Amino acid sequence: MIKIFKTFGGYEEILQVNKSSWVNVIAPTNEEILRLSSEFQLPEDIIQDILDPDERPRLEFDDDWSVVIMRIPVESSNNGVPFHTLPLGIFMTEDFTLTLCLQNNEILPTAQSHSNREQYRQISDKINFILRLFHRSGNIYLKYLKQINQMTSLIEQDLEKSIKNRELNKLLKMEKCLVYFITSIKANEIVLAKLRNSKKITTEINEDLLEDALIENKQALEMAQIYSDIQSGMMDAFASVISNNLNVVMKQLTVISIILMIPTLISSMFGMNVPNFMENSNFAFPAILGVSAIFSIIGVILIRKKQWH
């Protein structure tokens, strides 16, 4: 999907690229990729790099264009992992700015009304637009990290009484999200540092905006690392909890087996095909039942007294 907007923020959509217009490309088809390379004169290898889900963030300059690649958080339902990261590429030329990503995201909300769009509308130069994207990306990382923390709390409640590995697998997927986030945020910080120190950028950089973007990314990185450390220790602890819960169940089953063994033993002794003093008594059966019940009750009392249950 290719959409061309007159200004940053996506308020007014136009048909042709004009001076200082913004082109937003989401999940392009093969025909749209050909259009990007022919009509917009963008290098096809760079386009393919951005469409690679594993592409690393970087900053690259050419005579006719410049490109910034960052990694942004997106929601996902693949294999039960709620979030992952994807590359977002920003091409800058003399005539237009183009953003390219594999799927819809909250960094560039062009399809619906959003408070963040008003912030983009106030930006007139490309570099500060990119800084705004980094700042917005840090906010979304923080938002998703809070959701991961809430999901983890729910999994913890189930883990306390679980004897299966299902909840532990859910916790492992939360840990996988955090690893994605930590790796991506660190790489984004490197790109931000290169933007600040690059001599090829002639546009004046808004230092306040750059500082805000760095602070948001740093805060997101610290939160992700804290949650990751907590979950690493938590997974070891809850692996022991699951093992202990299983031991408790086995202990309870063993106690039940011992109690049931007492009447079985007594009835087996009197049920053997050998003479005994009760074979001709009419009260043999209820007497054996009574003795079995008495010894079973004594066994329960002893087990409770010794706290073996």
Tokens of 85: 């990261």
pLDDT recorded at residue 221: 92
Q: Letter for the amino acid at 189?
A: E
**Domain-by-domain residue ranges, the chain?**
2-244, 247-306
- How high is the mean pLDDT of the chain? 80
What are the tokens at 35?
């259009």
Query: What are the phi and psi torsion angles at 99 (to 5°)?
Result: -110, 140
Domain 2-244 homologous superfamily, CATH: CorA soluble domain-like (3.30.460.20)
Specify the CATH class of 247-306 in words: mainly alpha
Q: Which residues of 167-206 are buried (b: 16+ CB within 10 A; e: fewer)?
A: bbebbebbbbbbebbbebbebbbebbeebeeeeebeeebb
Query: Model confidence over 140-168: pLDDT tens digits?
Result: 999 999 998 888 888 777 766 655 667 77
pLDDT band at 254 (very low <50, low <70, confident <90, very high): confident
pLDDT at 240: 72
